[in-house]
Amino acid sequence: MILQQPGELTSHAMRRARLAVRCLPFQRSFYRNLEQGALSSAELVALPDWSSQTRGRLNARATEDQLIWLIQLGVLRREVDGQGLTERVRLTPLGRDVLRPWPDTIPKAGLASRILHRLRRHRPRW
């Protein structure tokens, strides 16, 4: 078994999350909304400017799938209320760090990076 140094896990998580953010269809304005407060996938797709927050139109189901992936990566987290977890999400401290290099626009990943991301997402041990 290979032991990782404490900073290695964080830098690996950061690289993986940055790649995902560049590959997913969300624009920087989407993440700004989540910096300001928690929203559910249904609330997000109901926003009047929703189409300006993604590279393509997403329905609530596709949005929820993308949000779950961002939760698994540590970029987002579910909001908690007095009764437990809700369907609303907000940005995590890691998510803020991931987005820091891109205050205005998130650069779209190239083809090779998108293929790598897709493989890692659907074959996580590969």
User: Across all residues in the chain, what is the average pLDDT?
Assistant: 85
d(CA 66, CA 92): 16
Segment among 37-41, 57-61, 81-85 with least mean pLDDT: 81-85
Helix axes 6-23, 111-122, angle to 10 degrees: 120
Q: Is the pLDDT of residue 30 over 80?
A: yes
Structural class in CATH, domain 8-122: mainly alpha
Domain boundaries, the chain: 8-122
Q: Is the pLDDT of residue 4 over 80?
A: no
d(CA 41, CA 78): 11
Q: State pTM to two decimals.
A: 0.83
Report whether 88 contacts 43 (CB < 8 A). yes
DSSP letter assigned to residue 124: T
